[in-house]
Chains A and B, each alone.
Chain A
Amino acid sequence: MTVINAPATALRQPFFKKPSILPGFGLTLGFTLSYLGVLVLLPLAALVVKAGGLGWVGFWTAVTSPRVLAAFQVSFGLSFVAALVNAVFGFLVAWVLVRYDFPGRRLVDALVDLPFALPTAVAGIALSALYAPNGWVGKPLNDLFGLKVAFTPIGIAVALTFIGLPFVVRTVQPILQDLPPEEEEAAASLGASRLQTFFSVIMPALLPALVTGFALSFARGVGEYGSVIFIAGNMPGLTEILPLLIVIKLEQYDYVGSAAVGTAMLLVSFLMLLVLNLLQQWMRSRHAR
């Protein structure tokens, strides 16, 4: 004889949620979804709706005007350069922090997170003071090499390097730490030189993390505003970044135009989010031991 109980049958809905005796699912999920919906999804939808007012042709025209294209080029190109610099030096920093001991290592390790913690506007004015033609670093560079950093594309790359550095270090560092020493020892015992071991054993293991860090740094750079505008010079077509263009359009009451550029940037972020998720899957599959 099978007795079907009321509380038991209530659980036989098509699977949406695995039953659990912990309370509060409805309350917390409801709150989470409302909060997310009202504060994030609704405003993002407003952006797309506003840009959609232009129609496909209008949207395309708006985001392919020479000034916007130039800004795209500046933002993406220099973010790429900065991410490359970070991939190299971030890797070096992670390597040094994990593998070597030196006085103040702990302090340096903590300092790496500075770009996460320092407000971008502060970073912006500090970098521009530092790399200006009369700044501590800018003056020697100018005098010795005739190299101008602030108010040129190089300045933008410097700011984006600052902003993106921790992404590479903090992605590579834990993986490097967990690298099993046996593999390197095996390579050494098989007669590989240290350099051969590095390129054939260590690098392949770290590559997914390095690429992920690069992508994170790049993605952050494309959207960055505060640290860049002070050092950039903001010349249209030369040193004008995408986010600044949005602000300028907004100040000119060109809401639709700024929405169009904003939507284009949003689409790019979605795309990068997708790429990053795939990268992280790759990273996990590599490090699932």
Chain B
Amino acid sequence: MAIQVSGITKRFGEFTALDAVDLEVKSGELLALLGPSGSGKTTLLRIMAGLEGPDAGSLHLNGEEALGLKPRDRQVGFVFQHYALFRHMTVFDNVAFGLKVRPRGQRPGAAEMRRRVTELLELVQLAPFGSRYPAQLSGGQRQRVALARALAIEPKVLLLDEPFGALDAKVRKELRRWLRKLHDDIHITSVFVTHDQEEALELADRVVVMNQGRIEQIGTPADVYDHPASAFVYEFLGQVNRFDCMVEGGIARVGNGTLAIPTEGGVQGPAVAYVRPHDLGVSPATGGPGRIAGIHVVGPDARIEIDLAGLALEAEMDRERLATLGIVAGDRCSVHIDRARVFAR
């Protein structure tokens, strides 16, 4: 089912959580709403679910106006950030809840209900845990119960609010892959909210980057990472070197001219330039303008801190390359940049 968001605005008192947001979620895709806290991503998700009402705008689910519909009539599965499992119900009863509260005519019989709940518990690999209570489960298990519970009502859309936010790093990674696989199997239109760029880039078909109630960019993970549309997206996605420069005739000059970088986009005058650490080349050069201020090896990669006439830069390369270059802290070096994106200041 496709979701169409047009001109949605939401204010909390003086604070504008969403500012005329337009967005289309395609049927069957897995979409990430990515942004820092306060960017409005959770509010947008809650509006889709019917947990909040917007101040203006419209929302269409599968082409039909949905703002007037109550949450229960939207056929939406919602996974809460802290799962919101019913603490006094067993795992089984939690998953069965959505079926049990249906009007008498649509309620499945006891046997059918048992079959479907069991099926869902198998899907989320929790079949042996049906009679446990939420308090007796680990974080990752609770998260999967929440997912099974949301899927039980056979929703047309699955909405997940920071689905991995409360988990530790290892479980988070496993569950992320598992969710991706689950989505590939059942192909339900899904939207998830996250503030973790790695999560969004790895998991989603498309990423929506949000900031201060507005959408900064929509695109595939590769798109938004390689071609950030704004300074914000550049800074928010991945490590980045940021420095002030002057652009004249397509060449950005930094500081007193120690660095001249070809730029894309027709910016002229004072600007901010962004360079990813792995796009920053370093070579040893006696009497070169830069100095290696420090080298930090993190796993297979090396981070090199460079002092370029007072400008602190960071480069990243694998350890093999570092060994080939044979540089150590304190060496002089030269710096070359193939690619920089500049935005007018």
Binding site for B on A (CB under 8 A): 1-9, 11-12, 15, 18-19, 21
Does B251 touch A at the CB level, under 8 Å? no
Query: Dominant SS at the A interface?
Result: loop
A19: chain B residues at CB < 8 Å are: 52-53
Nearest CB of chain B from residue A73's CB, rounded to whole Å: 51
**Which of A11, A18, A21 is within 8 Å of B55, CB to CB?**
A11
Task: Indicate whether A5 sits within 8 Å of B58 (C-beta atoms), given known contacts A15-B13, A21-B71.
Answer: yes
B71: chain A residues at CB < 8 Å are: 21
B52:A21 contact, CB within 8 angstroms: yes
A18: chain B residues at CB < 8 Å are: 12
Chain B 50-68 near chain A by CB (<8 Å), digits 1 or 0: 1111111110000001011
Task: Indicate whether A8 sits within 8 Å of B53 (C-beta atoms), given known contacts A2-B20, A3-B58, A15-B13.
Answer: yes
B68: chain A residues at CB < 8 Å are: 5-7
B20:A21 contact, CB within 8 angstroms: no
CA distance A18 to B52 in the complex (A): 10
> Which chain A residue lies CB-closest to B11?
A12
Can you sample 30 A-B contacts with CB below 8 Å?
A: A2-B7, A2-B20, A2-B56, A2-B57, A3-B7, A3-B57, A3-B58, A4-B56, A5-B54, A5-B56, A5-B57, A5-B58, A5-B65, A5-B67, A5-B68, A6-B68, A7-B53, A8-B53, A8-B55, A8-B56, A8-B57, A8-B67, A9-B55, A11-B55, A12-B55, A18-B12, A19-B52, A19-B53, A21-B50, A21-B51
B239: chain A residues at CB < 8 Å are: none
CA distance A9 to B51 in the complex (A): 16
**Which of A1, A2, A7, A12 is within 8 Å of B67, CB to CB?**
A7
Chain B 217-251 near chain A by CB (<8 Å), digits 1 or 0: 00000000000000000000000000000000000
Nearest CB of chain B from residue A21's CB, rounded to whole Å: 5
Does B6 touch A at the CB level, under 8 Å? yes
A11:B53 contact, CB within 8 angstroms: yes
A7: chain B residues at CB < 8 Å are: 53, 67-68
CA distance A11 to B56 in the complex (A): 10
B50: chain A residues at CB < 8 Å are: 21
